[in-house]
A and B are shown apart, each in its own frame.
Chain A
Amino acid sequence: MPEVQLRKRVVIVEEVFHEGGPIATKPLRRGAALAVIHNPFAGKYASEIAGFMEDLKPLGLEMAKSLVTALGDDPTVVEGYGKGAIVGQTGELEHGALWHVPGGYAMREILGGAKAIVPSTKKVGGPGTRLDVPITHIKASYVRSHFDSMEVGIADAPRADEILLALVMTTGPRIHARVGGLKASEIKGEDGLR
């Protein structure tokens, strides 16, 4: 399989203090690590692509580490996560699916005890395309306060023969979460769901 060719990396950190309600004692942080890589399968149909997932693992780990660093260098503060990909226009959606395993593996490796499936989304698009990356609690998918999302994108990516890869982490619930459902304090932590 081809080598991973990195063009650029972007790290974004949002710190939310309020959204019209009381100012939170602990602001919510949402962070995203983005990488723009060359799509080795751009421009032609390749039937064998799965090997590239293994090649992406070191980059995934590096992105997850840089994201934890940007959120304060303490993996235990991370409560929510998500991932996504935008494939440039000479690629196919299936190329974005290559990110599922290495992106998810990387965050679980760094966070430890993260049992919930990593929610994800993907699309084909041009430079400047925005992606709403879904977010859920890392230990139990049904925790309602942690259902969230983060919009990400880069003005000059992905070019036609590139893929934009995204990992997202949050440090808590929505800033004024108050619509009930399973609470983080009620997590049983057996199946990654509740």
Chain B
Amino acid sequence: MKAKIRKIVTFVEETHTEMGQAVNPPTRRAAAAAVIENPFAGRFVQDLTELMEIGEELGALLTERAVTALGIPGPSAESYGKAAAVGENGELEHAAALLHPKLGTPVRKVLGKGAALIPSSKKRGGPGVSLDIPLGHKDAAFVRSHFDGMEIRLHDAPRANEILVAIAVTDSGRPLPRVGGLTKDQIRGEDGLR
């Protein structure tokens, strides 16, 4: 692996009730996060290819971890998202290099499909910074019941020369969706939008 990984953390959340209403089956989402060394910390580097390649590796690794943590086959995943937090000696562009050029293809390979844009967020921060990973339906971005987000944080990352990279995957939407819009049974799945 090109990535120098210090740690990998997985989170699984299951919601069983909300405002006293049963959520049946419980909604479930998982996030897998890796803390890696930032090869470009502390200096300006024009060519970010190395981080793009690391992004490709992590796209496969973290999606596998998240799906395994949910205990579902990849194609059963319903929504996804990605995010990165760059330690203080790095640039926001380092997060962009990890997330945007090459990370998506292996994610979609694990999940079978994934016609929709993978929603993303990025920031710079210190250890313990929270990361709100946006979530959207993997085949149709306009499915309103699946607009969501998942907060994660690692108390000891990212250190100044590290980057925290995370992928979130769900097998469901929000716990009690009731604000209308496109539903998942109406997905045409041609353009990634509807």
**Chain A residues close to B by CB (< 8 Å):** 5-19, 70, 130, 151, 153-155
Known: A13-B69, A14-B154, A70-B10. 15 other contacts (CB 8 A): A5-B17, A7-B15, A7-B16, A7-B17, A8-B16, A12-B11, A12-B12, A13-B9, A15-B9, A17-B6, A17-B7, A17-B8, A19-B6, A154-B13, A155-B130
A16 touches B7 (CB 8 A): yes
Interface of B is mostly: strand
- Contact check, B7 vs A8: say whether CB atoms are below 8 A apart: no
In the complex the two chains form, what is the Cα distance from A19 to B4 in whole Å?
11
Q: Which residue of B lies closest to A12 (CB)?
A: B11
Question: Quick check: is B5 within 8 A (CB to CB) of the other chain?
Answer: yes
- Some 19 contacts from A to B, beta carbons below 8 A apart, are A6-B17, A8-B15, A8-B17, A10-B14, A11-B10, A11-B11, A11-B12, A12-B10, A13-B9, A13-B69, A14-B8, A14-B154, A15-B9, A17-B6, A19-B6, A130-B155, A151-B155, A155-B130, A155-B151
- Interface of A, secondary structure class, is strand
**Cβ-based interface call for B18 (8 A):** yes
The tally of residues in B whose CB lies under 8 Å from a CB in A reads 21
Given contacts A130-B155, A151-B155, contact A9 B7 (CB under 8 A): no
A10 touches B11 (CB 8 A): yes
B residues less than 8 Å from A14 (CB atoms): 7-9, 154
Number of A-B contacts (CB under 8 A): 55
Alpha-carbon distance A10/B14, docked complex (angstroms):
6
Q: Are B6 and A7 in contact (CB under 8 A)?
A: no
Measured between beta carbons, the chain B residues less than 8 angstroms from A7 are 15-18
**A155 to B: closest C-beta gap in Å:** 4
**Which of chain B's residues have a CB closer than 8 A to the CB of A151?**
155
What distance in Å separates the Cβ of A109 from its nearest Cβ neighbour in chain B? 22
Q: Specify which chain A residues have a CB less than 8 angstroms from the CB of B8 in the assembled complex.
A: 14-15, 17
Q: Who on chain B is nearest to A156 by CB? A: B151
Query: For the complex, what is the distance from the CA of A83 to the CA of B158, rounded to whole Å?
Result: 26
Q: Which of A6, A18, A70, A130 contacts B16 (CB 8 A)?
A: A6
Min CB–CB distance A2 → chain B (angstroms): 14
Compute how far the CA of A135 lies from the CA of B47 in the bound complex, rounded to whole angstroms: 44
Q: In whole angstroms, how far apart are the Cα atoms of A24 and B182 in the complex?
A: 49
- The smallest beta-carbon distance between A157 and chain B, in angstroms, is 10
> Is B13 a contact of A9 with CB atoms below 8 Å?
yes
A10 to chain B, nearest CB (A): 5
A99 CB, nearest partner CB in chain B, Å: 19
Instruction: Give Cα distance in the complex from A155 to B152, angstroms.
Output: 8
CA distance A13 to B9 in the complex (A): 5
Q: Contacts of A11 on B, CB cut-off 8 Å?
A: 10-12, 69
Please provide the 9 A-B residue pairs with the shortest distance between their CB atoms, ordered closest to farther: A155-B151, A151-B155, A11-B12, A9-B14, A15-B8, A14-B9, A16-B7, A8-B15, A13-B10
